[in-house]
Amino acid sequence: MTFWDDKQILLTGGAGFLGSYIVEHLRTRGVRNSQLYIPRSRDLDLRTWENCVKAVKGKDIVIHLAAKVGGIGFNQHYPGELFYDNAIMGIQLIEAARQEGVKKCVILGTVCAYPKFTPVPFSEDELWNGYPEGTNAPYGLAKKMLLVQSQAYRQQYGFNSIYLLPVNLYGPRDNFNPESSHVIPALIKKFVEAVREKKPSVDVWGTGSASREFLYVEDAARAIVLATERYNKSEPVNLGAGKEISIRDLVTIIKKQTGFTGEIRWDTSKPDGQPRRCLVTSMAEQEFGFVAQVPFEEGLKRTINWYVKKILMNNLSEKLLI
């Protein structure tokens, strides 16, 4: 017998970027398609209570990944939607899972929940010592309320709910839509297009001084599966690689890996976002044995190669249609 034997699993967001890797990782654990329920938002809108009740019916485990997310620009344009959609989905799903008697609920939070000036590296006990960075606050606070709910439900109902705090993820299959993508796919798209179109320069938001930590998506999927199997406490747990890189250095690496030889133009009228992000990751290792494995530059190379191949395949498809 293994942890996953005969368990019925709801994986919200399972058709998305991170979710697709979790599905693959679960299959290596012996999980069959018949055990997995992956609702699509177009078919089951989790902002509606009745749909949450339907989604958790007969489930043993809920892994809640579904979220409305985006980069700094997206956060600035849609703060109300980001707060409401993320809060209402999570709150209703957790309550429906409790009422249904789900054995375990795994909730994905966000590094955006940390205060703007958290001491670096961020440790889990600093989570409430200040207000989040302004551009991310509505999203970060909506997700943070799910931690409050998780802990309150464990205290009052004995409901086994855990809360994980991943840093920015990246990897193949990421969202490369410039309207809603995060920093790595946005930069890769800009530089690959600049090379293809022989542009003399690339414009990048901010000053380049901010730093970020990034976790390769396959590592993140492995971490979530391990936590589901082994972690059963109320304290939130960081998921990261434990290393930070400045946006300026990130741009330099992507420029080199994509073969761009032109000028970088920094648009300092645009915001940098939170000054620094880097996590203490020791709790994840201690509690469920997770340590990130994929080196950052190797992960970037895989992501760039995937994106370039995708563009080539799309171009070939368009030519065949013509």
Which residues on neighbouring strands pair with residue 169, listed in sequence order? 215
The CA-based angle 138-109-115, given to 5 degrees, is: 55
Structure tokens at 305: 């190669």
CATH number of 9-321: 3.40.50.720
pLDDT band for 318, please (50, 70, 90 cuts).
low
Interval 228-281: pLDDT, tens: 999 999 999 999 999 999 999 999 999 999 999 999 999 999 888 888 899 999
Tens digits of residue pLDDT in 114-147? 999 999 999 999 999 999 999 889 999 999 999 9
- Cα–Cα distance for residue pair 133/65, rounded to 1 Å: 22
pLDDT of residue 1: 63
Structure token pair of residue 83: 């707060």
CA contacts within 13 A on the Cβ side of 253? 16
E-only strand ranges, 96-193: 104-108, 161-166, 168-170
More confident residue, 9 or 136: 9
Query: Angle at Cα 277 formed by Cα 18 and Cα 111, nearest 5°?
Result: 45
What global pTM score does this model have? 0.93
Q: Which tokens hold the place of 276?
A: 């620094």
Q: Which residue ranges make up each domain of the chain?
A: 9-321
User: How far is 282 from 102, CA to CA, in rounded Å?
Assistant: 29
Separation in Å, CA 191 to CA 112, 116, 174, 186, 258 = 26, 29, 16, 9, 7
What positions carry a catalytic annotation? Answer: 139
C-alpha 151/C-alpha 128 separation (Å) is: 14
Cis amide prior to 119 (ω within 30 degrees): no
Say if residues 161 and 93 touch (Cβ distance below 8 Å): no
Pairing state between β 245-246 and 211-212? antiparallel
Alpha-carbon gap, residue 20 to 209, rounded angstroms: 33
pLDDT of residue 322: 44
